[in-house]
Amino acid sequence: MSDPHFQRVALIGIGLIGSSLARVIREKGLAETITISTRSAPTLARAEELGLGDRYCLSAADAVKDADLVVVSVPVGASEEVAKTIAPHLKRGAILTDVGSTKGSVVSQMAPHVPEGVHFIPGHPIAGTEHSGPDAGFAALFQNRWCILTPMPDTDAGAIEKLAAFWTACGSNVDTMDPQHHDLVLAIVSHLPHIIAYNIVGTADDLQTVTKSEVIKYSASGFRDFTRLAASDPTMWRDVCLHNKDAILEMLSRFSEDLSALQRAIRWGDGQALFDLFTRTRGIRRSIIEAGQETPAPDFGRQAAAPGAGE
Ligand code: NAP
């Protein structure tokens, strides 16, 4: 196993993910120094107030000079701009990674700018909450969650191992796959559920004018569970939709077909079809609990504010 420790880490973007990384790096002693950079002065000032790093700079170019590990944690639509800004200043031998929720698009935005001698290894921790900004992060976010790395075919194996060791030290289990496969998998496990949640909450909001406050009042009957996902960061999710378009459209058309079949079963009173589907899906939840990715506690385990309860 490689040494997970880095001399100098630069975190570009210090929201939920960046600040969780800063906290876990500090807690586990995974770097000698942490340099933090973000585009706005108020966010940088807040990161400093929270004591998340050792150095703070508005210039991402300055932040990455001398860094052995650079982690870009910004909305995926900003990846190219950030890559262009930092590329000329990256140290030879440094590892450059990101945490973006889409991978094919991040690779095409960033890879062309990465200089020779820098190890570019895109990544995605499958951990998150609906909260944003430097206050939202916590050190345990990545604990027992998966982190997917999508290295290029010619990426140095030692660098991949080192980054994998780093994520393992952060508490994650690490998988590698190609970016296209990542995008397809995430379209169904993450992107589609968020889109469905945004849609159902939007529909209910339209109805609210008819049913007054009843949607809110009786929300514990199921609706409430969608509102957590639908409260996720609008910028992040706009970018996910725009940057994983093909895989999301593919999954949406599968979803629409299955929804039509469900609609037909309800219309024709096909109780057996409904019962069979609902039994199958209940089994999926059981498997997720058995895999340690959810707790069996009532209220979806959220009374205990389960860390990393979803992306
Ligand atoms: P966040 O809390 O909203 O923080 C975003 C950070 O990016 C802030 O430092 C912000 O800077 C900066 N930023 C925003 N727009 C930018 C732009 N156009 N150019 C440069 N910097 C910009 O976001 P997050 O939840 O940490 O998400 C960061 C990345 O992680 C995203 O790519 C997301 O897809 C991925 N991710 C998120 C989750 C999740 O559940 N949230 C889970 C896994 C992966 P200022 O505040 O200074 O403007």
Longest dimension (CA), the chain: 67
Q: Which of 52, 68, 65, 67 lies closest to 20 in space, CA to CA?
A: 52
- Ligand 1 contacts CB of residue 181 (under 6 A): no
H/E run at residue 176: strand 173-176
If you measure from the C-alpha of residue 308 to the centroid of ligand 1, how many angstroms do you get, rounded to a whole number? 16
- Supply φ then ψ for residue 308, to 5 degrees: 60, 35
If you measure from the C-alpha of residue 179 to the centroid of ligand 1, how many angstroms do you get, rounded to a whole number? 20
Cα 216 to the chain's mean position, in Å? Answer: 28
Tell me, what's the pLDDT at 137?
A: 98
Length of the chain: 311
Question: What domains are there in the chain, each with its CATH number?
Answer: 6-176 (3.40.50.720), 182-268 (1.10.3660.10)
Tell me, what's the pLDDT at 166?
A: 98
Tell me, what's the pLDDT at 306?
A: 45
pLDDT, averaged per 10 consecutive residues of the chain (311 residues), comes to 94 98 98 98 98 98 98 98 98 98 98 98 96 98 98 96 98 98 97 97 81 79 92 97 98 97 98 97 93 78 48 65
Q: Which of 168, 164, 190 lies closest to 177 in space, CA to CA?
A: 164
Q: Which of 74, 90, 104 lies closest to 246 in space, CA to CA?
A: 104
Cα 236 to the chain's mean position, in Å? Answer: 9
- Ligand 1 contacts CB of residue 123 (under 6 A): no
In angstroms, the CA 17 to CA 249 distance is 27
- Supply φ then ψ for residue 151, to 5 degrees: -65, 155
If you measure from the C-alpha of residue 80 to the centroid of ligand 1, how many angstroms do you get, rounded to a whole number? 14
Tell me, what's the pLDDT at 301?
A: 46
Please give the C-alpha separations between residue 170 and each of 40, 106, 120, 266, in angstroms, as whole numbers.
27, 23, 19, 47
| One-letter identity of residue 208 | Q
In angstroms, the CA 60 to CA 65 distance is 9
Residue nearest to atom 31 of ligand 1 (CA): 75
- Supply φ then ψ for residue 175, to 5 degrees: -125, 150
Q: What are the tens digits of pLDDT across the range 200-224?
A: 999 988 886 666 578 888 888 889 9
Q: What is the DSSP string of 152-169?
A: -TT--HHHHHHHHHHHHH
Q: What are the tens digits of pLDDT across the range 228-275?
A: 999 999 999 999 999 999 999 999 999 999 999 999 999 999 999 999
| One-letter identity of residue 242 | L
Kindly state the DSSP code that residue 209 receives in the 8-state scheme: H
Residue 232's SS3 state is coil
In angstroms, the CA 105 to CA 244 distance is 7
